[in-house]
Structure formats: C-alpha cells, structure tokens
Amino acid sequence: MPESDESLTSRRPIEAVLLDFHGTLAQVEDAVRWVTRAAQSLGDTLERSKATVLADRLTTAGRAGGPKPQRVPAHLAEVWADRDLSADAHRACYTGLAATVDEGLATPLYDRLLLADGWQLYADTVPTLQALRAAGVPVAVVSNIGFDLRALAQDLGFADLVDAFVLSYEVGLIKPDPAIFWNACAALRVDPERALMVGDTPADAGAAAAGCPVLVLPESEPGKVHGLGGILRLL
C-alpha cells in the first residue's frame, strides 16, 4: 500500500523530485481535436461526426499518449517493442498504427505530438514546479518517450523549471527498470531514498525498487488540478 504523507516525510526527507511527463504534468489533446487539427494541417475540414469516428478508430489502433492498441500488426511488432528506445522506432510505430486507419493522416497526427498545441498542462503543473524551484528543490522529468521532450517543455512553459530530463530513448532504459531512476538521481546528485518519484502508472511506481519514495496520482481531467500540490506537503 502507498505510504502516508507522514511516514514519507518522517523517514525519508525529500531533497529532490522526479516527475513523469504524460499523465502527470500534461495530457494529450482530446482525440477529436487531434484528428480535426491534423486534417486542417492538410487543408481538409472534417465534419465532427466523421472526426469522431476517425478518432475512435485511431485511438483503438494505438495512439501515443493513449491506451495501448488492442492488437499490434505483425509488421509493426519490432518498432512497437523499441518505441521508447529509439526516435525512429517511435515515429515508425505510431505513424504505422495510424496508417492502418488513415494513411494520409498518419504523419500529421504524429507531428501533433511534438507541438505544444497538442498537449494540455494540468492547472497545478507550473505553480508546483515554481514552488519547488523557489524552495531550492531540484527536479528531473523521467519519461518513457521516443522523442526529445525539451523543446516541447520549452513551448509549454516549464522547461526552465526542470533541472534534468531523463528520457528513455536517450539513456536506453525504460521504467520500471530501477536503473532509469538511479540515472535521474545521479543527474540531480541525490540519494534515491531522498528523491520522490511522482507519476500515474505502475511503471512510475517501479521507482520503489530503486529505493525512492513514490507518489502515484489518480487520473484527473486534462487541464484541471491534478494533485501535484501534494508534493509540496511531502517536503
């Protein structure tokens, strides 16, 4: 069971914070908006009914930031397995999955993943990061991801509040492997037992095996308060 706020602070004083990105700091845009904006980039205007049907089919096929596909086609099995270890595999995986539904939209759909307009920060993301910076607490973003998050973070307005980005495709490690959390702790020069890992999935909770205390947040509506302020109570 998760440890209480009191037990975390009394036994393991927090000196640094490790944060997941997707589902913790931000959420991908609504699926219908995703499809509509991708089509607009090609000069096509989709009726909402058609966009809704396409969005449902594309989400089922497998969307980065969405649920895992119900079935991965055999020709995409290798890039699916490597999607968080290689930028090329990540793009090939998700454009390939989208192409099983609409080949013409596959690339524009993927490209929205790289744009700030394709994401929505939770309401308490920046305020919490600002409070951590003011308190002198270093922060690392630890993400299973196949593209460079730094430019996106800059456009979303929080890059300057992060001390290190530990990205799976760069370090060759994927959560819940304890080594990726050790890598992040080393980047912040903090012992694992004094680095709080904050995420939203069992993969993030894998930091416990690395010796880190863990805070797993429940799902929140995109753009709303996500409970990140709880981090400040654990310092």
Question: Which tens digit of pLDDT belongs to each residue from 78-127?
Answer: 999 999 999 999 999 999 999 999 999 999 999 999 999 999 999 999 99
Question: Which tens digit of pLDDT belongs to each residue from 154-205?
Answer: 999 999 999 999 999 999 999 999 999 999 999 999 999 999 999 999 999 9
Taking the domains of the chain in order of start, what are their residue ranges? Answer: 5-25+122-233, 29-118
Question: Which tens digit of pLDDT belongs to each residue from 17-74?
Answer: 999 999 999 999 999 999 999 999 999 999 999 999 999 999 999 999 888 998 999 9
DSSP strand E in the chain: where? 16-19, 26-28, 119-121, 139-143, 164-167, 195-199, 214-216
- pLDDT for 2 beyond 50: no
What's the alpha-carbon Rg for the chain, to the nearest Å? 18
State the pLDDT at residue 1.
41
Enumerate the β-bridge partners of residue 197: 18, 214
Task: Note the pTM of the prediction, 2 decimals.
Answer: 0.91
Give the dihedral sign, CA 137/199/86/154.
negative
Number of H helices and E strands in the chain, helices first, is 12, 7
pLDDT confidence band for 13 (50 / 70 / 90)? confident
**Contact 198/208 with Cβ under 8 angstroms?**
no
Long-range CB pairs of 204-207, under 8 A, 24+ apart, other chains included: 204/20, 204/24, 204/175, 204/176, 205/176, 206/175, 206/176, 206/177, 206/178, 206/181, 207/18, 207/175, 207/176, 207/178, 207/181
Question: Which tens digit of pLDDT belongs to each residue from 149-166?
Answer: 999 999 999 999 999 999
CA distance 94 to 150: 20
CA distance 231 to 234: 5
State the pLDDT at residue 12.
62
**Contact 168/85 with Cβ under 8 angstroms?**
yes
- pLDDT, average across residues 206-213: 97
- pLDDT for 142 beyond 80: yes
Query: Closest Cα to residue 173, out of 154, 145, 213, 201?
Result: 145
Query: Closest Cα to residue 21, out of 130, 178, 152?
Result: 152
Query: Closest Cα to residue 125, out of 196, 26, 50, 220?
Result: 26
Q: Which pair of structure tokens corresponds to residue 133?
A: 């910076």
State the pLDDT at residue 11.
56
Fold entry, domain 5-25+122-233 = Rossmann fold (3.40.50)
Q: Which pair of structure tokens corresponds to residue 52?
A: 């809704």
- pLDDT for 10 beyond 60: no
Neighbours of 30 (CB within 10 A): 13
CA distance 133 to 198: 16
